[in-house]
A and B are shown apart, each in its own frame.
Chain A
Amino acid sequence: MCNDEGAETAMGKTLAEKIWSEHIVRAVDGEPDLLYIDLHLIHEVTSPQAFDGLRLAGRAVRRPDLTIATEDHNVPTLNIDKPIADPVSKLQVDTLRSNCAEFGVRIHSLGDKDQGVVHVVGPQLGLTQPGMTIVCGDSHTSTHGAFGALAFGIGTSEVEHVLATQTLPLARPKTMAINVEGALKTGVTSKDIILAIIAKIGTGGGQGFVIEYRGSAIRALSMESRMTVCNMSIEAGARAGLIAPDQTTFDYIKGKPHAPEDFDAAVKYWSTLFTDSDAKFDVEVDLNADDLEPFVTWGTNPGQGASLSSNVPNPAEIKDPEARGAAERALVYMGLEAGMPLKKIAIDTVFLGSCTNGRIEDLRAAAEVVKGKKIASTLRMLVVPGSARVRLEAEAEGLDKVFIDAGAEWRNAGCSMCLGMNPDQLAVGERSASTSNRNFEGRQGKGGRTHLVSPLVAAATALRGTLSSPADL
């Protein structure tokens, strides 16, 4: 580490490089850096085998005080006061509870106000703060990058490694800047920004990089909207995406349960967390926010998207043979014809929720659209708050009534239909407009078809029955 310092201070550092170097426990030439982890989030699906590994080796959790668990991926969103009906799901959730009890890890279980999607829970508790390293056995850990934290998803072997040592051996990533300048038009959201970015750089475009989102359009976003952008970094192939902290960040954290007691000192430190003006990124990408329109996906990966006002693309016009083949297969799976207007696509299910768009601001935006109206008789709408706290907050504002009066279902918190692990699934051939993050084949249920959309598009679609934006109402 000492050897590198001189060379690095000669040139400015990017934000990602600053956080990285502050967390190096050990750096040796020819080996990955050993990085300290400030916060480890765990859930029921990717942790049981890791706890088993600890038990087999007779190891403890090194820092239970930097670890927190919740139940999200596999939990029902109905009848949560009753035992989980699926015995296999129940065993997995029970296993998390007993592991947390055995190893002294804090857990927020079903029925607790801080239960919910792990990436909604961390920020709402104020545990997600600038300058931290945060990991979780879930690829959408990149969400926490919105606070200027270096946050990324890990596998179960790495979960065990962090539980045992509070560190991870990691190769240094490359850095990418995505500059989004300009101002979003009304009805265009941060979801549209990130879907447009993924369509532009592709699902592998960010591979090996940490992305820093910069520019006036990013600075203008709320924390919730920034989380939506960082959340889907992984859909562009980047393990982490981050945004430098600013007053918006500080204001969000202030007053949260785990906000720093010496808040001024924390702000002073956080204010040093930015990319130096003379730092160089390995790659820079520009996107103009002025031109953006509501964006939706038509295919089976998040890079297969287009403006809502356009048509289903014609694979024959795609030059790259690999992309052409993928588009052809996607249209078959999705049951779509090339050239068909995207707005003509009829939807069976609208899903509002997930770690991408299940926060209070997302629910408010959608409620504003459906208020006093009825959803189309041809579809169902599931509204799944990202956490129990979000649900309570929404109920205090009367949003539950707005959705229920419109004909939507108001559910309890969890990952729900985003990944279709619990009973909330699409049937074969069913088509959704979903505020989640992945439109993979079968993601929301075997044979199900997914169009990724913003909360505004989800709400307008629910009213009209076909993919729509509020401007179409």
Chain B
Amino acid sequence: MEKFIKHTGTAVPLRRSNVDTDQIIPAVYLKRVTRSGFEDGLFSAWRNDPEFVLNKPEFAKGTILVAGVDFGTGSSREHAVWALQNYGFKAVISSRFADIFRGNSLKGGLLTVIIEQSDVEAIWAAIEADPTTSVTVDLETRTVCYNNVILPFAIDDYTRWRLMEGLDDIGLTFKNLDSIASFEKSRTSLKPATLPIRA
């Protein structure tokens, strides 16, 4: 996984709450068996609307999405994270994310940043007033900065370290194979197994 330490770019205001993962990428786009090429499905229903923010030339190059509350609700499809990344987003800012989406994003290196709703509104106002506003998401200092405004955000130390080092969880867990093996020895035999098949 690519390391995430700090990203500076322009931001896209998505003034909607409860953007579910069916909106981020509808099910009909989930038939692919790869991790790439999902950008064409990103917000596909809304992209037919010329007024939709991603269709506005001034926001076309944004790399930070600033969304309303409860972003990423619904389906667990990690394709939602891939679609945002494939499109070019490096970070999403919101006042609240759905649990599964947030977990998926932080596994895959898309930084999800939680700040107060009033601060989200202030960023919306700033980037709508000037779409070239430079926004920096700094994982090292745990801050979002724009126009001399500095907003701290919380992220647990472990996830921050993992993202900054670009480490994937499986590699880390493989260091604990002994613990897994000894846990397996102590598991109760009452637990079911899928094999051998019982009809």
A-side interface residues toward B, CB under 8 Å? 25-26, 30-32, 34, 36, 38-39, 45-46, 48-49, 52-53, 57, 59, 62, 64-68, 73-74, 86, 88-89, 91-92, 95, 106, 126-127, 129, 132, 137-139, 153-158, 160-161, 164-167, 169, 171, 203-204, 207-208, 234-235, 237-239, 257-258, 260, 262, 265-266, 269, 301, 322, 325-326, 329, 419-421, 438, 440-443, 446-447
Q: How many A-B residue pairs have CB under 8 A?
A: 202
- In the complex, per-residue mask of B124-165: 1 if CB is within 8 Å of any chain A CB, else 0: 000000000000000000000000000000001110000000
Residue of B whose beta carbon sits closest to that of A300? B18
What would be 11 A-B contacts, judged by CB atoms less than 8 Å apart?
Answer: A30-B157, A39-B192, A49-B35, A65-B195, A91-B33, A157-B108, A158-B104, A164-B173, A167-B180, A204-B73, A204-B98
Taking CB as reference atom, which chain B residue is nearest A303?
A: B18
Give the residues in chain A near B168, CB-CB below 8 Å.
Answer: 157
A32: chain B residues at CB < 8 Å are 158
Known: A88-B32, A441-B45. 14 other contacts (CB 8 A): A34-B173, A36-B187, A52-B35, A126-B192, A127-B192, A155-B78, A155-B81, A157-B104, A166-B180, A171-B156, A204-B73, A237-B99, A326-B17, A442-B45
Task: Give the contacting residue for B70; candidates A67, A86, A160, A203; CB below 8 A.
Answer: A203
Cross-chain contact B76 with A46 (CB below 8 angstroms) = yes
CB distance from A197 to the nearest CB of B (A): 16
Given contacts A25-B179, A171-B156, A269-B188, contact A203 B173 (CB under 8 A): no
Interface of B is mostly: loop
Min C-beta distance of B2 to chain A, whole Å: 14
With A137-B76, A153-B100: A106-B195 Cβ-Cβ less than 8 Å: yes
B83: min CB distance to chain A, Å: 13
Give the contact-size bracket for chain B: 35 or more
B184 to chain A, nearest CB (A): 8
7 pairs of A and B residues whose beta carbons are closest in the complex: A155-B104, A155-B78, A48-B33, A153-B76, A157-B107, A421-B27, A65-B195
Closest to B46 in A: A441
- Minimum Cβ distance to chain A for residue B194 (Å): 4
Is there contact, CB below 8 Å, between A34 and B179?
yes
Is B76 within 8 A of A139, CB to CB?
yes
Select from chain B the residue with minimum beta-carbon distance to A51: B33
